[in-house]
Chains A and B, each alone.
Chain A
């Protein structure tokens, strides 16, 4: 599989399969597969033997990569659980939303998943400590219940 001028060309079935396997989990593959799907969608411009993955397969691969990436963009469930456990119930939506936005738009692209997860957990603890001090009580039991039924 290589980039030609203006799109993706799949040279042989073995080549494409190997590359798909190797690149399966790479985050930037969404764009690549979208491009491949676009090329294959206009298959009249390609010779028959150049198409080694059928359009339906590419669409399926694209959907899988997309869903993998959607999961990768989610904040760590442990951090979210911690937030639900520690944060006052009336502030959870606001704080979790802000942290989610920070995670997806700033930490993840800048730091990568591992550091972004740590960063998320650290900010949960920091925000929880401050908010708990203000509200002067633990909402842990309520939070724990919400966590399990979430």
Chain B
């Protein structure tokens, strides 16, 4: 899983099934301080959905959306497993590493 996929998956996790492309982008921007394009989020969500990491369902239509529906994304068990694996690989790689800057 790439960095951006992980960021999107974590944002979906944070939003607890209420996230849609726009709020997922906001969540990444808020937490990572990086602006992301809506198109990149659609592409990544689509990829994650095809992997079975997330599921989606159409939500309610609201006036500020011109009567269009939202598509809410929720993390699924394979997605949670993938995140856990990533985290444990991350932890194992960091374990025992010297402090950054100490090798210079």
A-facing residues in B28-54 (Cβ within 8 Å): 37-40, 42-43, 46-47
A-facing residues in B56-90 (Cβ within 8 Å): 58, 61, 64-66, 68-71
Query: In the assembled complex, how far is the CB of residue B59 from the closest CB belonging to chain A, in whole angstroms?
Result: 10
List the B side residues contacting A99 at CB < 8 Å. 38
Q: Does A53 count as interface, using CB distance less than 8 angstroms?
A: no
B residues whose Cβ falls under 8 Å from a Cβ of A: 20-22, 37-40, 42-43, 46-47, 58, 61, 64-66, 68-71
Q: Is the beta-carbon distance between A96 and B66 smaller than 8 angstroms?
A: yes
Q: Is the beta-carbon distance between B68 and A134 smaller than 8 angstroms?
A: no
Query: In the assembled complex, how far is the CB of residue A113 from the closest CB belonging to chain B, in whole angstroms?
Result: 16
Query: Looking at chain B's contact residues, is the secondary structure mostly helix, strand, loop, or mixed?
Result: helix
A residues whose Cβ falls under 8 Å from a Cβ of B: 74-75, 91, 93-102, 104-105, 123, 126-127, 129-131, 133-134
List the A side residues contacting B39 at CB < 8 Å. 123, 126-127, 129-131
**A123 with B38, Cβ < 8 A, contacts A97-B70, A134-B46 known:** yes
Provide 28 A-B residue pairs closer than 8 Å at the C-beta atoms, listed in order of the A residue: A74-B66, A75-B66, A91-B42, A93-B58, A94-B20, A96-B66, A97-B61, A97-B69, A97-B70, A98-B21, A98-B38, A98-B65, A98-B70, A100-B65, A100-B66, A101-B22, A101-B64, A102-B22, A123-B37, A123-B38, A123-B39, A127-B39, A129-B39, A130-B40, A130-B42, A131-B42, A134-B43, A134-B46
Nearest A residue to B44 by beta-carbon distance?
A130
Query: In the assembled complex, how far is the CB of residue A83 from the closest CB belonging to chain B, in whole angstroms?
Result: 11
List the A side residues contacting B38 at CB < 8 Å. 95, 98-99, 102, 123, 126-127
Nearest B residue to A127 by beta-carbon distance?
B39
